[in-house]
Chain A
Amino acid sequence: MKDKQILFLALPAVVYLLAFTLYPIASNLALSFYERTYEGHLRWVGLGNYVWLFEKDPYGPLIVGNTIVYTLATPSIAIAMAIPTALALRRLGGKWLLPIMIPAFIPPVTAAMAWYLLLNPLYGLGYYLLSWGLIKANPISSIWAIVLVDVWRAFPTAVLIIYSGLRAIPKSVEEAALADGLAGPRKFLAVDLPLISPQILTAFVLTALTGFFTFDPIYIGTAQVGPRLLDNLAYYSYEAFASGEFGYSATLIVIMTLIGTALSLAYMKALSARTFVKLPLPSWMPRREVPKAIHALVLSAALIFVAVPFVWLFLISVKPPDEIIQVPPSVLPSRLALDNYIQALTNGLPFLLISLYVSIINTVLTIILAAATAYQMRIHGFGGDKLMAYILYLMSTPTLIYIVPLYLLLSKLKVLDTLWALVLTYPIMTIPYGIWILYNYYSGFNRQVEEAALADGMSRIKAFVKVVLPLSRNGMAVAGLYAFLFSWGALIFPLAFTQTPYNLGKPLSFSGAQTFSIYIGMLMSPVTLSYGQVAAAGIVSIIPPLIYLMAVRRSLEKIWGAG
């Protein structure tokens, strides 16, 4: 390497990532060949765990079946909806993109909880769906409720990617198409669709990964309808972990890691092949532009789909207690009641504090570490293609695959159930994303700025801190936004590494570290079930991300290119 200072800036994030991801991946594989005996020792069983899953586990077929449904249905539906929505955005203006993006910015637990409240067969709109005969079975015990939640969460990302693909089509190519007699649906089929096929593939893979590893909706759904009905591999492996079956959990995780890796590798290969899908162009395909009213209709439908759970959540949160459990359910509250909020905030305070602490600490850490590494990667070629490929790989695999080895590691460090367990592990999910965002951001960055600073007598480190960082505000704001969202909405790590709420009696011990997401999950379980409180907590959980989102809106739109 050319320069020690480049290493100094680039290495912290890279060393951290390698230590906290490569070790767990390897350790999972090793663990998958063991099972825990009743005395708590690990015993070598060879491929026994794998055989158990495919041949003996009574839940095996159900779980594999559910996983397949989630993995294929989520991307198919999300993309079928995203393409017309993206076309409508192009026609009607990108200012509607931000409201459509909101589901991607709220905690997944809140999203799932809001949908479950909405679908509830007694106290939610599910009652009317059943009584009008639109559906026959209880909607919340169906695996399609999980698909619905995941489509809702994945839809914004799919729209964003496809819309950016449409916008990347050069204006002159559009005009050339006009000159060649391509307009309306005819042009869409001959020009737009082939040119956005890489974006459709990207969106498909990303949303398929969402479906494949989906966890939070099952966590909420299971709290409502009982165990095993909705499980996929991801949730089932968490359950195995939670009941102490580390070997079996690791086995399931190894299988998921392999499938996830295969998906992301196939995807990277497909993208680098730089091929566009070509479609036959039937001669009857019309040239006439789709009327603007149709586009407006599509966009309105998308906005309503996005808004409905929020509206219902808000309505419940301000209903007086007796109206919440009224059958048939009322839509509007008879009066505005704040009882739910007072309860949710009083009981939820320890959880809220931990979520805020860890989100803020992790956001700052991520921004600094990711910016330093991303800059050296992009401008000085640090790490080359291999490091970038590994970063992309980490982005496409979820945090679930690390829980077993990290749990064992954190218990050795004696930090389980403290704030430090979360601070140590959260960067695993946020640094790769931060590096990726900033890496792309720095591709438009003028490296001569740093060279001028060096010529003026600064060291590389000083030049980075004094010159590069202040010029990276937009990129850092957006990387920070994603870091904050992941931290704020995280569920799997806090579930795995904490057991008790923050001990407010001894605040500086920072022990007990359950987060607000866990609090929401707890409120949904049959024991404590309190729909009013959970709805209020859900609204509270939406506020910090929305504040951050509004604060960095301009930076975000610059990076989306949708301004």
Chain B
Amino acid sequence: MLILRGVRKSFKGFTLRVEELAVPDKTYAVVLGPSGSGKTTLLRIIAGLEKPDEGSILLNGVDVTRLPVWERDVGIVFQNYALYPHLTVFDNIAMPLKNKRMPKDEIRRRVEHIAEVLNIKDQLHKYPHQLSGGQQQRVAIARALVKEPKVLLLDEPLSNLDARLRLDVRGFLKELQRNVGATVVHVTHDQEEAMALGDLMIVMNNGRVEQVGTPEELYRRPKSLFVFNFLGLGNLLPARALGLGGDELVGFRPEDVALGVGDYVATVARQEYLGSYKLVELEYNGFRIKARAPPAADFKEGDVVKFSVDLEKALRFAK
């Protein structure tokens, strides 16, 4: 169990505060937030690359707050991989073990094992500049995992990969985590990536943890407007605009809108064909509403349609 308790870290014009955050063992946790939300600082504090001004970090009940990075039992994969350009892949991966004064044959055995897991065993003699971006990343992951850390920290691991490769690596990361049984803390600003990977999602905003939960909890039961807006597509209207009582805002997802039936009437303003479905944007009394329709649905811009909203799934937010 990784626990952060009462952590505070201030920079010029920015403060990170985490009252209490717990990541259970063998969990794939994703820290999600816009840039400047403090997610990377959080990761760096767990890693030991930043010292918090207050508070403590506990790893399996041991307070590691004052320990140097290398005594913390964490592995870090940097956004740009940060491989040693002057060392071969083998020596890159072996570096953490060498500094633990492990016997040579034990180092060799471990490096080869982890290289096998990451499918880079035939690259061990090469230098980083001879590898593709994807291969470099595997080396970086191998280097982080070779010391068998309790926690693996991933800083925006997919941001330097092209869109196609990103989906493959995403799946690979999750399977890898399940196979080695490590706790992962993965930082990203991409909400789709976060929902796809996370057993546990930690949404951050303005230096604070907004909400912690499973992807479904966060998508379906966001505790704040920020989380509702940040995850997936959403519609947000004053309750009165839908003929409901109260001064609040009503939020609902495009898939909670049914087209062709219901009491509301709107005009089709625009539509986007997205392959597996069609996103239809409605003009409704001066508001825009996004709705999800089957890909074959036959609308034209300017069509007048009836629609209904599944109000049981809708959320209410104070203005």
Chain A interfacial positions (CB closer than 8 Å to B): 170, 172-173, 175-183, 186, 190-191, 194-195, 197, 274, 276-278, 281, 283
Contacts and interface: CB of A to CB of B under 8 A. Distances in A.
Contacts of A281: 98
Contacts of A175: 47, 49, 69, 76, 78, 82
B233 interface: no
A197 B85 CA distance: 12
B96 interface: yes
Q: Is the interface of A mostly helix, strand, loop or mixed?
A: helix
B203 interface: no
Interface string B56-91: 000000000000111000111011111111110000
Given A172-B78, A172-B79, A175-B49, A180 B86 contact: no
B101 interface: yes
Interface string B97-110: 01111000000000
Given A179-B74, A179-B76, A276 B98 contact: no
Contacts of B143: 176, 180
A180 B95 contact: yes
Contact of B70 (A180, A195, A283): A180
Given A181-B70, A195-B86, A176 B99 contact: no
Nearest to B99: A181
Given A172-B79, A175-B78, A195-B86, A182 B47 contact: no
B70 A179 contact: yes
Nearest to A191: B84
Given A172-B82, A281-B98, A178 B87 contact: no
B70 A173 contact: no
25 contacts: A170-B80, A173-B83, A175-B47, A175-B69, A175-B76, A175-B78, A176-B82, A176-B83, A176-B84, A178-B69, A178-B70, A179-B70, A179-B75, A180-B96, A180-B143, A181-B70, A181-B95, A181-B96, A181-B99, A190-B95, A191-B84, A195-B86, A197-B86, A276-B85, A277-B86
A173 B47 contact: no
Given A178-B69, A179-B75, A179-B76, A173 B100 contact: no
Contact of B82 (A170, A183, A278): A170
Nearest to A176: B82
Contacts of A276: 85-86
Contacts of B80: 170, 172
Contacts of B48: 178
A283 B97 CA distance: 12
Nearest to B71: A181
Contacts of B47: 175, 179
A180 B74 CA distance: 10
Contacts of A173: 82-85
B84 A179 contact: no
A194 B86 contact: yes
Closest 6 CB pairs of A and B: A181-B99, A276-B86, A181-B70, A172-B82, A176-B82, A180-B96
Interface size class of B (residues with CB under 8 A): 20 to 34
Contacts of B98: 281
A183 B49 contact: no
Interface string B217-257: 00000000000000000000000000000000000000000
> Which of A178, A180, A186, A190 has the most chain B CB atoms closer than 10 A to its own CB?
A180
A283 B129 CA distance: 28
A276 B91 CA distance: 14
Contacts of A191: 84
B87 A181 contact: no
A175 B50 CA distance: 11
Nearest to A274: B129
A434 to B, nearest CB: 32
A185 to B, nearest CB: 13
A526 B81 CA distance: 65
Contacts of B96: 179-181
B37 to A, nearest CB: 20
Contacts of B74: 179
A180 B102 CA distance: 13
B50 to A, nearest CB: 10
The residue in B80, B96, B99, B101 that gathers the most chain A C-beta atoms within 10 A of its C-beta is: B99
Given A172-B79, A276-B85, A186 B99 contact: yes
A298 to B, nearest CB: 25
A45 to B, nearest CB: 52
Contacts of A277: 86
B87 A278 contact: yes
A25 to B, nearest CB: 37
B76 to A, nearest CB: 5
A274 B127 CA distance: 11
Given A172-B79, A175-B49, A182 B95 contact: yes
Nearest to A187: B99
A182 B97 CA distance: 11
Given A180-B99, A194-B86, 5 more contacts: A170-B82, A172-B82, A173-B85, A181-B95, A186-B99
A508 B283 CA distance: 84
Give the interface centre of B49, B74, B84, B129 by most chain A CB atoms within 10 Å.
B84
A392 B177 CA distance: 52
A172 B83 CA distance: 9
Contacts of B100: 181
B81 to A, nearest CB: 8
A11 to B, nearest CB: 37
B76 A176 contact: yes
A175 B82 CA distance: 8
Contacts of A190: 95
